[in-house]
Structure 1
Amino acid sequence: MGWRQFFTPVRSMNASEAKAYIEELGDEGFQLIDVRQPAEYRASHLPGARLMPVADLGESSGDLDPDKPTLVYCAIGGRSRVAAQMLAGKGFSKVINMSGGIKAWRSKTAVGPEDSGLELFSGNEALTEVLSVAYGLETALLEFYESLAGQVDRQDVREMFQRLAAIEAKHQQRIVDYYRQARGGGDDEESIAGRDLGDTLEGGLTTGQYLDLYQPDLQDVGDVLSLAMAIEAQALDLYQRAADRAATSEMKEALSTIAGEERQHLRQLGELFAEQTGSGEGA
């Protein structure tokens, strides 16, 4: 490859353009690569990103599809520009550098190592088992919101928790519908709810972990919505990472579909946040 790779021209997008590009392509239409170090990734990363430090990219890039749109980012855009040039030099035809890096990203991010939450999905289980786990995570989050609705004093906050619970109930029903299709009918609600996940919520973290991590004021509508967006970002991240390691195309498609719905929820919550607070915080 040699030094000539660093002069390979590559396309760049700023964070806003990259976000729109991701929305346009859908969750199966692109590869999102974080070329920072593992500690940086653990602290914060774009939902669904695969960790490939720039120093290891020469070896790890063999796991990528060179014909698929590939969006590369780092902290501020320097390492990712080098990484994008390396990939372009290796024949990646649609590689894009996100200028400004994650520091310019104004939407919610995920936390934790690459294997965070993946103990919930082995990658080899039946589709119905995957959907049962997804249903359990939705149920836990719904019950979390309902529980908090009964604990807060402010009426507007109580109503917001109830509204969030209603959103989760709709998604829960969507998963039941997928489960029915996978089984070809049957007693869906009873059979899908077979696995006890304890207090693990969407995204693979527990209620205590989310509250400790974000320390929201649960009497404030803005903080409540910000927490909800953080949970959805974590869920999107988990489902996309699980889809990347799925053993079958059927499993990959199911997990990618659920990830796409989490992305829609995140967008919906971002709009609700702006409506409630007058803030432009992105989803």
Structure 2
Amino acid sequence: MLAGKGFKQVYNVSGGIKAWKSKTAVGPQTLGMDLFKGPESAKEFLVIAYSLEQGLQEFYQEMADKAGNEAVKNLFHKLAAIEIKHKDQVFERYQNMVDPEISREGFESMVTVSALEGGLTTKQYLDQFDPDLSVETEVVSMAMSIEAQALDLYQRVAGQVTDPKAKDVLHQIAKEEQQHLARLGKLMDTL
């Protein structure tokens, strides 16, 4: 199943998920699903995805302002800049699929930020992962956890959607989240 979704290295863990000792997505399967009222169109999924990227960008900017350590402050600024690129991808997809003439301002007027990627609020993420925000590796680890939550959320929603165009949009966004995770892994390797 995972190999069919584009994962290059898939490991079969003897003993199943109960034997797994590394990080997993957190929370119940319904976590974040309340962001989707159903049945959304591909257009609506793109607006929701943009709002989640916006929420995460704002979170990183807020954390940069609070950071006492210059290296961590710079890291949060870098993470916020990455989220701007993610938003650009979603906006471009919206223009290509829905309305080539829409302005960024017009698109953003449809966006409501209520949660970060993965469906949790800022406080919930900080409470859940309890990172030491003065340590760069813990900040990147938290960012990776958020992207993993987002990947999981988009895959869960795609599993419930019946509209082929909407399902395709969700699979594309999930694939981008997978790429975001890989980039964060490379960033972690530099620390």
- TM-score between both structures, scaled by the size of structure 2: 0.89
Distance in 1 between residues matched to 2:43 and 2:4, nearest whole Å = 27
Q: 5+ unaligned residues in a row in structure 2: which ranges?
A: none
Higher helix share goes to which structure? 2
Question: Runs in 1 of length 4+ with deviation above 6 angstroms?
Answer: none
Indicate which of 69, 83, 90 corresponds to 1:168. 83
Indicate which of 220, 245, 265 corresponds to 2:135. 220
1:195, distance to aligned residue in structure 2 (A): 3.3
Indicate which of 33, 41, 45 corresponds to 1:126. 41
Q: Does 1:234 align with 2:152?
A: no
1:275, distance to aligned residue in structure 2 (A): 2.1
Higher strand share goes to which structure? 1
Q: How does 1:46-61 map to 2 (within 5 A)?
A: none
Distance in 2 between residues matched to 1:262 and 1:188, nearest whole Å = 25
- Deviation per CA, 1:39-73, whole angstroms, max 9, x where unpaired? xxxxxxxxxxxxxxxxxxxxxxxxxxxxxxxx9xx
What SS does structure 2 have at the residue aligned with 1:217? coil
Percent identity, aligned pairs only, is 43
Q: How does 1:197-216 map to 2 (within 5 A)?
A: 197-198=113-114, 200-216=115-131
Residue in 1 that maps onto 2:27? 112
1:101, distance to aligned residue in structure 2 (A): 2.9
Indicate which of 22, 26, 36 corresponds to 2:5. 26
Distance in 1 between residues matched to 2:174 and 2:95, nearest whole Å = 19
Residue in 2 that maps onto 1:189? 104
Counterpart residue identity of residue 184, structure 2: L
- Deviation per CA, 1:143-200, whole angstroms, max 9, x where unpaired? 11011111112111111111111111111100001110122312242233213233x1
Larger radius of gyration: 1
Residue in 1 that maps onto 2:184? 269
Residue in 2 that maps onto 1:257? 172
Q: Is the 8 A contact 1:131 1:192 kept in 2?
A: no
Greater mean deviation of Cα atoms: 250-259 or 150-159: 150-159
Residue in 2 that maps onto 1:139? 54
Q: 5+ unaligned residues in a row in structure 1: which ranges?
A: 1-20, 30-70, 72-95, 277-283
1:264, distance to aligned residue in structure 2 (A): 1.1
Counterpart residue identity of residue 113, structure 2: L
Q: Is the 8 A contact 2:50 2:111 kept in 1?
A: no
Q: Is the 8 A contact 1:202 1:235 kept in 2?
A: yes
Distance in 1 between residues matched to 2:4 and 2:103, nearest whole Å = 32
Distance in 2 between residues matched to 1:255 and 1:227, nearest whole Å = 23
Distance in 2 between residues matched to 1:138 and 1:264, nearest whole Å = 15
Q: Which has the higher contact order (CA 8 A, sep 6+)?
A: 2
Q: Is the 8 A contact 1:216 1:227 kept in 2?
A: yes
Task: Compute the RMSD of aligned alpha carbons.
Answer: 2.1
What SS does structure 2 have at the residue aligned with 1:150? helix
1:98, distance to aligned residue in structure 2 (A): 3.7
- TM-score between both structures, scaled by the size of structure 1: 0.61
Residue in 2 that maps onto 1:51? none
